[in-house]
Amino acid sequence: MTFPHLALAAAAHERHGLHRNDESWLADRWADPASRVLVVAGTRVRPGPDGLEWVPAADAPDGVRVLLGERDGTTWWAVIAPGDLAKVEGETWLPLRGLLPFLAGESIRQAPLVFHALGLAEWHWAHRFCPRCGGTLSSRSAGHELVCDACGKPQFPRSDPAVIMLVSAGEPGSEDERCLLGRGAAWPEGRFSTLAGFCEPGESLEDAVRREVLEETGVEVGEVTYFGNQPWPLPSSLMLGFHGRATSEEIRLEDDVEEARWFTRAQMRAGAEDGSLVLPGGVSISRSLIEDWYGGALPGSW
């Protein structure tokens, strides 16, 4: 089967990392009338009537120029403008979660570019001062490096490893096999997803899976197997997907999980069909983990 989360990486762009410090090359590409720019106000983007707006470089506002790369013969950029631009009366600017509906269907091809742009915009917003001396930072390498004006220390974008896991129990493939899903405290009734959490310093990914499941639900996990990964710039995560096998099934809720339940495949299908169970959206690795365990596509998503 084709996993839903893979659609977000199906149209990767050539990032041209070797050209980020070539000022002549950058100037030529910026001046190319075919180049297109995504304007980011702080960390928000303005959608248009037909999707996200990519403007000619000549129409882009002042701001930090970020080279995204090249795809289909076009050079793609982002301009990180001041956040005040998003406060213009009568205009709507949305964060990444609000943009996801505009990345459906054929527009999914824009997702790698948009994730790249917003990931760097979030990084620029969160790193305005040097962590060593508190000095101001200046952009270099076409937006991919920040250098302290006082001490000269460079800063580079980072992706935080986060584990996301579907834990199952019972005889694999049997009617009684069940998987563990949780509901966050801020979520409405019926909305469930796979468990997730950040990897801590000095911790393996497999141990992070076991620790997070135990901390959130009290369920102990033994075998852990890697499934896949997905960049998720909310604000700077790399989601690493796993399947885990439970060695205990008693649920003892801790942390920020409001509810956790075991679902058989029949219960999952029935709940998804009648709307009592609302599962993650089709482009998320959480959805892929669930459908991989279930064995096919499921109706409904949020």
Q: State pLDDT tens for residues 31-80.
A: 999 999 999 999 999 998 888 999 999 999 999 999 999 999 999 999 99
The reported pLDDT for the residue numbered 3 is 87
Model pLDDT for residues 102-151, shown as the tens digit of each residue? 887 788 889 999 999 999 999 999 999 999 999 999 999 999 999 999 99
Helices marked H in the chain — which ranges?
Answer: 23-31, 96-99, 111-126, 205-217, 265-274, 285-294
The reported pLDDT for the residue numbered 129 is 95
The answer on 166 and 113 residing in a single domain is no
Average pLDDT over residues 4-9: 82
Q: What share of the chain in percent tops pLDDT 70?
A: 99
The answer on 235 and 139 residing in a single domain is no
Residue 302 belongs to a domain: no
Q: Write b or e for each residue in 284-294: b if 16 or more Cβ atoms lie within 10 A of its Cβ, otherwise e.
A: bbbbbbbbbbb
Model pLDDT for residues 71-94, shown as the tens digit of each residue? 999 999 999 999 999 888 888 999
Model pLDDT for residues 140-157, shown as the tens digit of each residue? 999 999 999 999 999 999
Residue 299 belongs to a domain: no
Helices marked H in 6-144 — which ranges?
Answer: 23-31, 96-99, 111-126
The reported pLDDT for the residue numbered 62 is 95
Q: Are 299 and 220 in contact (CB under 8 A)?
A: no
Residue 171: which CATH number? 3.90.79.10
The answer on 237 and 178 residing in a single domain is yes
The answer on 190 and 69 residing in a single domain is no
- The mean of the pLDDT values for the chain is 93
**SS3 at position 33:** coil
Distance CA 185, CA 166 (A): 19
Phi and psi at 92, nearest 5°, equal: -110, 125
The answer on 100 and 24 residing in a single domain is yes
Average pLDDT over residues 168-185: 96
Residue 85 belongs to a domain: yes
**SS3 at position 66:** strand
The reported pLDDT for the residue numbered 4 is 79
Confidence class for position 10, pLDDT limits 50, 70, 90: confident
Q: Are 42 and 63 in contact (CB under 8 A)?
A: no
Residue 301 belongs to a domain: no
The answer on 289 and 165 residing in a single domain is yes
The pairing of strands 160-169 and 237-246 is parallel
From residue 230, alpha-carbon distances to 134, 240, 287 in Å are 33, 7, 12
Helix axes 265-274, 285-294, angle to 10 degrees: 120
The pairing of strands 74-81 and 36-41 is parallel
The answer on 166 and 287 residing in a single domain is yes
The answer on 203 and 184 residing in a single domain is yes
The answer on 200 and 285 residing in a single domain is yes
The reported pLDDT for the residue numbered 282 is 76
DSSP 232: E
From residue 89, alpha-carbon distances to 62, 95, 99, 165 in Å are 19, 17, 19, 42
Distance CA 42, CA 83 (A): 4
Residue 298 above 70 pLDDT? yes
Between 274 and 2, the higher pLDDT residue? 274
- Domain count within the chain: 3
The reported pLDDT for the residue numbered 175 is 96
Query: What is the extent of the structural domain holding 48?
Result: 4-126
Residue 40 belongs to a domain: yes
The answer on 278 and 248 residing in a single domain is yes
